[in-house]
């Protein structure tokens, strides 16, 4: 079974938003991810942000690649347009859809493998073109769906569950997005809903490439040697009547802390994230300072979270190309065919 629908009934007194819709109207099918996966928290934050903004779900187009993260669009905005593309190819599909119909709200959801490994080129070109989209990378440093290989965002010298040490340097997608000219760049943590929901809402209101690099722990690939509840132990000590993978449910990791503070978060595998939330006097309007700050804090082993950079006057790909206001897919024959006289003139100008 690839998806499980949710029961339709709900409490009649559920709070409604400005459109008269409840949270349930912004949800999708039941998640089939591992219990405690950070990606589910991001799904909940997307649901909350869209509810808060009174977004009509059918005005949203959600697109993804392949991966556990890329499965998540099934779990929110069930009434939205959806397209689950090929691994690493979501950005080009989103670009095409956006060019054809500029009137929809484009929400791309991807993983660190999807965007920083196989899809790095696609990510880079979508960002530099300034496509009007929200692009969320659910970043766990591994290929969760294919059982925990390092992705290109994994830190040098980090250890996989099998004890392999990663010798490659990491790609920082927020730093890269800044360098590529994204007009909204943020980083957050799946367990910090108080920070993440407003960031998603702000990104949805931004007209340009809005990138959110969201750290999202993978609970499945975190076995400790010697644990009797580890993935390997259970498999080795289990007479198989079915070929099943057993994944232990964990509670989601949460972290709430004030602006300007540093918070250490221990992940399920024992590794530690050192998060620094931007101070309230941080100025997010200076691209160069944002880049310098990211690198400076990274040198201290800290991961900066918050709104790193925003250009409130951003213009998108359609403005760069000078396309008409009417979505291209709504143009009729009259607009698309200028008539033989004008065509003759164009042809003459090209001789
Ligand atoms: C062209 C292609 N190559 C490889 C794969 C196998 N594959 C599926 S998902 C995945 C990695 C997913 O990692 P990530 O994007 O980080 O998502 P996560 O599962 O960690 O959320 C890979 C390598 C594939 N489906 N297609
Ligand atoms: S394998 Fe990791 S990323 Fe995939 S659903 Fe499980 S916890 Fe989430
Ligand atoms: Mg991943």
Q: What is the pLDDT of residues 173-202, one digit of tens each?
A: 999 999 999 999 999 999 899 999 999 999
Torsion sign, CA atoms 119, 124, 127, 129: negative
Mean pLDDT of 208-214: 96
Instruction: State which H helix or E strand residue 99 sits in.
Output: helix 90-100
What SS3 state is found at 264?
Answer: strand
Which residues, at least 6 apart from 313, have a Cβ–Cβ distance to it below 8 Å? Answer: none
Residue nearest to atom 5 of ligand 1 (CA): 87
Half-sphere exposure for 329 (CA within 13 Å, toward CB): 9
- Centre of ligand 1 from the C-alpha of residue 61, in Å: 22
From residue 1, give the alpha-carbon distance in Å to each of 31, 32, 34, 38: 12, 9, 15, 22
Contact of 40 with 144, CB cutoff 8 Å: no
At 95-134, the pLDDT tens digits run 999 999 999 999 999 999 999 999 999 999 999 999 999 9
- Quick one: pLDDT band at residue 269, thresholds 50, 70, 90? low
Residue nearest to atom 24 of ligand 1 (CA): 87
Q: How many residues does the chain have?
A: 351
Beta strands 105-111; 133-139: pairing state = parallel
- Quick one: pLDDT band at residue 227, thresholds 50, 70, 90? very low
Contact of 112 with 187, CB cutoff 8 Å: no
Point out which residues pair with 211 in neighbouring strands. 135, 185
Q: How far is CA 18 from the centre of its chain?
A: 26
pLDDT at 247: 47
The residue with tokens 């449910």 is: 249
Mean pLDDT of 290-294: 94
8-state DSSP, 322: T
Is the pLDDT assigned to residue 76 strictly greater than 80? yes
Task: Please tell me the distance from the alpha carbon of residue 109 to that of residue 135, in angstroms, as a whole number.
Answer: 6
Per-residue tokens: 244? 């099943």
Task: Please tell me the distance from the alpha carbon of residue 342 to that of residue 338, in angstroms, as a whole number.
Answer: 6
Rg of the chain over Cα atoms, rounded to whole angstroms, equals 22
- Centre of ligand 3 from the C-alpha of residue 67, in Å: 7
Atom of ligand 1 nearest to the CA of 141: 16
Per-residue tokens: 159? 């250890």
66 lines ligand 2 (CB under 6 A): no
State residue 70 phi and psi, 5-degree precision. Answer: -75, -10
pLDDT at 216: 92
pTM for the full model?
A: 0.88
Average pLDDT over all residues of the chain = 87
142 lines ligand 1 (CB under 6 A): yes
- Centre of ligand 3 from the C-alpha of residue 46, in Å: 18
220 lines ligand 2 (CB under 6 A): yes
Task: Please tell me the distance from the alpha carbon of residue 53 to that of residue 66, in angstroms, as a whole number.
Answer: 28
From residue 16, give the alpha-carbon distance in Å to each of 12, 26, 53, 197, 302: 10, 11, 12, 18, 39
142 lines ligand 2 (CB under 6 A): no
- Centre of ligand 2 from the C-alpha of residue 198, in Å: 25
- Centre of ligand 3 from the C-alpha of residue 113, in Å: 5
Residue nearest to atom 5 of ligand 2 (CA): 33
For ion ligand 3, residues whose CB falls within 5 Å = 111-113, 140, 144
Mean pLDDT of 325-347: 92
What SS3 state is found at 101?
Answer: coil
Give the best-scoring range by mean pLDDT among 11-15, 56-60, 337-341.
Answer: 56-60
Contact of 266 with 292, CB cutoff 8 Å: no
Contact of 54 with 25, CB cutoff 8 Å: no
What SS3 state is found at 63?
Answer: strand
Mean pLDDT of 18-26: 96
Per-residue tokens: 141? 């440093």
113 lines ligand 1 (CB under 6 A): yes
Contact of 146 with 221, CB cutoff 8 Å: no
Of residues 317 and 272, the one with the higher pLDDT is 317
What SS3 state is found at 153?
Answer: coil
Is the pLDDT assigned to residue 240 strictly greater than 60? no
What SS3 state is found at 348?
Answer: helix
User: What residue spans of 108-206 are helical by DSSP H?
Assistant: 112, 120-129, 173-180, 193-205
145 lines ligand 1 (CB under 6 A): yes
Task: Please tell me the distance from the alpha carbon of residue 153 to that of residue 155, in angstroms, as a whole number.
Answer: 6
pLDDT at 233: 33
From residue 246, give the alpha-carbon distance in Å to each of 147, 229, 260, 302, 307: 12, 10, 40, 34, 38
pLDDT at 59: 98
């Amino acid at each position: 079974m690839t998806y499980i629908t949710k029961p339709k009934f709900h409490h009649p007194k559920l709070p409604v938003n400005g459109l008269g819709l409840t949270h349930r109207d912004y949800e999708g099918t039941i998640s089939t991810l591992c219990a405690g996966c950070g990606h589910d928290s991001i799904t909940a934050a997307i649901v909350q942000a869209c509810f808060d903004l009174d977004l009509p779900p059918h005005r949203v187009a959600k697109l993804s690649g392949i991966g556990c993260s890329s499965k998540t669009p099934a779990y929110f905005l069930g009434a939205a347009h959806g397209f689950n593309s090929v691994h690493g190819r979501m950005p080009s599909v989103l670009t095409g859809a956006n060019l054809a119909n500029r009137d929809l709200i484009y929400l791309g959801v991807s993983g660190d493998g999807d965007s920083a490994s196989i899809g790095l080129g696609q990510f880079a070109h979508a960002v530099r073109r300034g496509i009007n989209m929200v692009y969320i990378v659910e970043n766990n440093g591994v290929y969760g769906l294919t059982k925990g290989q390092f992705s290109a965002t994994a830190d040098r010298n980090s250890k996989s569950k099998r004890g392999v040490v990663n010798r490659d340097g990491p790609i920082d997608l927020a730093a890269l997005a800044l360098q590529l000219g994204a007009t909204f760049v943020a980083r957050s943590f799946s367990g910090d809903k108080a920070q993440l929901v407003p960031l998603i809402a702000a990104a949805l209101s931004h007209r340009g490439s809005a990138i959110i690099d969201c750290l999202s722990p993978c609970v499945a690939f975190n076995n400790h040697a010697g644990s009797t509840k580890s993935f390997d132990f259970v498999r080795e000590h289990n007479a198989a009547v079915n070929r099943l993978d057993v994944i232990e449910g964990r509670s989601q990791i949460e972290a709430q802390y004030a602006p300007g503070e540093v918070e250490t978060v221990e992940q399920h595998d024992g590794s530690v994230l050192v998060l620094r939330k931007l101070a309230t006097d941080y100025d997010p309007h200076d691209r160069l300072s944002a880049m310098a700050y990211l690198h400076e804090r990274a040198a201290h082993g800290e991961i900066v979270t918050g709104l790193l950079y925003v250009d409130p006057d951003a213009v998108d790909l359609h403005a760069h190309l000078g396309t008409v206001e009417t979505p291209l897919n709504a143009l009729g024959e009259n607009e698309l065919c200028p008539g033989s006289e004008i065509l003759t003139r164009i042809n003459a100008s090209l001789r």
